[in-house]
Chain A
Amino acid sequence: MDGEELTEQETALYDRQIRVWGADAQRRLSKSHILVSGLKGSVIEFCKNIVLAGVGSVTLNDDRMVTEEILSANFLVPADPNVYTGKSLAELCSDSLKEFNRMVRVSVQEGDLSNFSVDFFRKFDAVVISSCSLSTKKSVNEKCRKSLKRIAFYTVDCKDSCGEIFVDLQNYIYSKKKGDGAFECHIKYSTFEEAISVPWKSLPVRVSKLYLALRVIEKFEELEGRIPGETSAADLPKVQKLRKDLCDAQSHDESRIPDSLLERLLEGRSEFPPVCAIIGGILGQEVIKAISGKGDPMKNFFFFDAMDGKGTIEDISEVQTDLPNCNLFSAITD
């Protein structure tokens, strides 16, 4: 048990969730600091969820000025140009999030995510980034790894009716209840770079098509120097060509990445709010698990596609372990 007790106010406000994850977990949540960059629909949902849950602080990073398109899946910013003109998206979201829960400190960090230093990331317990380039994903992940303190790293993206979450908890240790005793579980995670470098022929059997398709699009955006998400159906021929090259190189069957899926992803600039809610909800839960040490965290990708309605976890790691979820390490007697 770490630290002081919850206040009366906290106990009253968090009553229903303390009944789910316990007072200890709630205490740990209230001491955690989260960095969030790229305030798209799914991330907005995520922010709402963790502010409600009662984390210690949330730092928002998104310097974009608000446009109508940005607001398509945003419920934090009032639809009034008099309110939103002249402020960055992060500032506007911060204003609104503060009202959700006065006990959470919400602040804004200006600047370009890719320029932040290891020292900067060290201030956080979890870092969630969205809609950024392949190179930024890799570099932020690396910086989180370099910090001596363990930082939970997440990337999240929604395109059209599809969403992807990646998580790197480094070496994650938590205790898991089993019967009357508790076990210490160790999970070893791969970085994003390590994960996406796994040869396609070593991927789990029947791996989610979304995983493959998103890697093709990600590569395409990098090669073309596109702003992430700035794609359209007109790009399909080039993307098909890239798919063939990648599949040939990996000796993989091209038909596992259907045209229809690529087309949807390329067109998916405007977000589909129900999918944002789902991805933001799952992500919120994962971050809460990682911070509170309560519950089995997922390893290491989550995919959702509204077309088939499945929300799937895939373990795509450098080294495949026999026990992907929990290595029983030592029993802690009760």
Chain B
Amino acid sequence: MASEQQLTAIKGAKVLMVGAGGIGCELLKTLALSGFRDIHIIDMDTIEVSNLNRQFLFRQSHVGQSKAKVARDAVLKFRPHINIIPYHANVKDPDFNVDFFKRFNVVLNGLDNLDARRHVNRLCLAAGVPLVESGTTGFLGQVTVHVKGRTECYECQPKPAPKTYPVCTITSTPSKFVHCVVWAKDLLFAKLFGPKNQENDLNVRSSDASSSSEQVEDVFEHKNDEDIEQYGRKIFDHVFGYNIELALSNEDTWKNRSRPRPIYSKDVIPIEPVHQNGNQGRASAAGDLSSVSAMASLGLKNPQDLWSLKENSAVLLEALKLFLSKREKEIGNLSFDKDDQLAVEFVTAAANIRASSFGIPLHSLFETKGIAGNIVHAVATTNAVIAGLIVIEAIKVLKNDVKNYRMTYCLEHPSKKMLLMPVEPFEPNKSCYVCSETPLTLEINTHCSKLRDVVDKIVKAKLGMNSPLIMQDSSLLYEVGDDLDEDEVAIYAANLEKVLSELPSPVRGGTILTVEDLQQELKCSINIKHREDFDDEKEPDGMVLSGWTQAPAVEKNGKASADNGASTSGASQAASVATEEDDDELQIIPTLTGKKRKLSDVAGAGAASSDASSAAKEPKIKRKAEEIDGNDDVVMLEDGDSTNSTKKGEP
């Protein structure tokens, strides 16, 4: 295989790797062994214990250090004379601009999130540098090649959206454990420990205050002189008792649903002897966040155990107490972090008590952590295989061996006898707003919606732009950047709060907005269409973007072992909260949905399916003999089917 031509291509190549996690470690090793000599690697993450089972370049002693830097040092031990430049930085930093990307012959992605993938895709398109993209979940993985003008770009096909849930499902009518987790994490935890001014759909009015209308007292307010113990029980009784009673009083809701059961703390845990097992202080020494633990003080050991309602209640009260007594300084600034032991304990307990109320099966801390933290399942072997496939494609790209480019799927169950299935890449999608210039349409109420709504919900969230610039004709409505004058900053800030039709250059039905990201060198036009009414549940954004496609969200069940890493978060209108998975692996394996994409059933079935056994679904692939070498054949995909490209996730 190591032909002269190939060796020359490898030795002379300048490669950019994005991501030094699960795939990244394997990739850097395989690149170095294969003879690559000039490798730049970007990763903003630091090493965590849960990385060590597969990110083999890292050791326990490296925990907390930069992945990119430690990976470099580890590889130089067996290949000392090659050039590896690490960047402990976010690939979205402005330093990594189009000119930076132009310095490379090929870019190799080993990323863990959609945002960064889209960003790199755009920079590669703008810089004209080929991209080899990859991802794994459990035993499933894929490698794809994106060369501008030759093959589709990473965004030519819709990506599954993180699953979001209607507000009322989370606040009033949970039917699955995941709903309880979202409630515990995004509502209760955020309300108690997050920033005070956040929007939150939890009812804060207590029974006594409900009559005195405007001047309501927020039960969540912890007064300085208030006993911690009492405060904990007050919160408990409010959210699991009173709020449930309140919900029950709305008879309509329960016509076709089973009625929840209010739970009061005194019924679960008698008031006087609150658990004090004397175990306090026997905390594990692993690090700051895990040193305070309700499980430890209550003597609960195994994170895989199911706790009873009583145990959950004890954990909840204990965790709340520990937050208030040991970590009071952080309160008001906390956001849920799956590596924060106490936070996971709190959310597990709260989700389970709520589940208990609604007759939903309880889950262990281990499982709850997986759901709440959007933890992606990962094993070393799949990453190693995928990294090998990336290098094989990278070498083809460097040799400009266009006709042999392949997308390859790593499957859990063989399909047509294949575990590794190569497929010819698709042509660019002519209506892709990223790699071709197709205008989008935005239906919006121009008399109600503010520019801020458009920036947050559309330009950033949907179009994935970081530093957007918005123009109407030749007048600038909005811009971000370091080089703005003070008065410009003030004008844009003011514009953000204005309703579209009242902007200096008003935006109405028929207006065409130009939205641009200078760093990504991506520009697109949005035709504005005025519309008065939107369905709160189905169109929670209060606006609808079309011409931009997103695959149906992946419905998650509550079982951690079947999740694929797509987000479970997003209770309120703020839909999808950024995922918090720590490392390498992706959340987008089933990229292949939509027209002529039956193969999605292969990669997708396994990855997205909540039932592992259904992953064996036979893909509908027809073979077309091709005289390449003897009578070998090439896998072709079936054409012309578009069943699932635009279906929206069921709310």
Contact = CB atoms under 8 A, between A and B. Distances in A.
Most A CB atoms within 10 A — which of B32, B384, B560?
B384
Interface string B91-119: 00000000000000000000000000000
A8 B370 CA distance: 17
B78 A278 contact: no
Contact of B392 (A8, A11, A309, A314): A309
Contacts of B634: 308
A178 B375 contact: no
B304 interface: yes
B223 interface: no
Interface in B525-563: 560-561
Contacts of B53: 13-17, 52-54
Interface stretch (A110-118, A244-252, A266-274): A266-274
Interface in B134-174: 138-139
A273 B33 contact: yes
Interface stretch (A76-84, A128-136, A223-231): A76-84
A94 interface: no
B65 interface: no
Interface in A38-63: 41, 45, 48-49, 52-54
Contacts of B79: 79
B377 A20 contact: yes
B382 to A, nearest CB: 7
Contacts of B630: 209, 255-256, 258
Contacts of A314: 417
Contact of B380 (A53, A102, A209, A274): A53
A132 to B, nearest CB: 23
Contacts of A8: 284, 301
Contact of A277 (B26, B631, B632): B26
A256 B420 CA distance: 22
Contacts of B561: 19-20, 22
B420 A309 contact: yes
B398 interface: no
Q: How large is the interface on B (under 10, 10 to 19, 20 to 34, 35 or more residues)?
A: 35 or more
B258 interface: no
Contact of B629 (A160, A177, A258): A258
A296 B413 contact: yes
Contacts of A178: 613
A263 to B, nearest CB: 12
Nearest to A78: B77
Nearest to B412: A295
Interface residues of A, number: 77
Contact of B303 (A11, A16, A49): A11
B420 A310 contact: yes
A272 B6 CA distance: 12
B423 to A, nearest CB: 9
B30 A281 contact: no
A160 B50 contact: no
B84 to A, nearest CB: 14
A11 B382 CA distance: 20
Nearest to A74: B78
Nearest to B584: A16
B292 interface: no
B33 to A, nearest CB: 4
A76 B75 CA distance: 10
B384 A49 contact: yes
Name the prevailing secondary structure of the B interface residues. mixed
A99 interface: yes
A275 B50 contact: no
B387 interface: yes
B2 A272 contact: yes
A306 interface: yes
Contacts of A15: 50, 53, 366, 375
B379 A313 contact: no
Interface stretch (A119-127, A146-154, A232-240, A282-290): A282-290
Given A16-B377, A256-B630, A282 B385 contact: yes
B43 to A, nearest CB: 17
Given A11-B303, A52-B54, A282-B381, A277 B139 contact: no
Contacts of A278: 384-385, 388-389, 420
B418 interface: yes
A73 interface: yes
Interface string B1-23: 11000000000000000000000
A77 to B, nearest CB: 7
Nearest to B635: A310
A312 B419 contact: yes
Interface string B303-336: 1100000000000000000000000000000000
Given A19-B370, A20-B378, A313-B414, A12 B388 contact: no
A304 interface: yes
Nearest to B304: A23
B380 A49 contact: yes
B496 interface: no
A92 to B, nearest CB: 11
A329 interface: no
B607 interface: no
B392 A274 contact: yes
A73 to B, nearest CB: 6
Looking at B77, B387, B388, B560, the one whose CB has the most chain A CB atoms below 10 A away is B388
Nearest to A272: B1
A166 to B, nearest CB: 15
Contacts of B631: 206
A308 B375 contact: no
A101 B58 CA distance: 10
A302 interface: yes
10 contacts: A12-B49, A54-B53, A78-B77, A178-B613, A274-B30, A278-B420, A282-B420, A302-B419, A308-B629, A311-B421
- Which 7 pairs of residues, A with B, have the shortest CB-CB distance? A311-B420, A277-B388, A309-B422, A273-B33, A281-B385, A281-B384, A161-B1
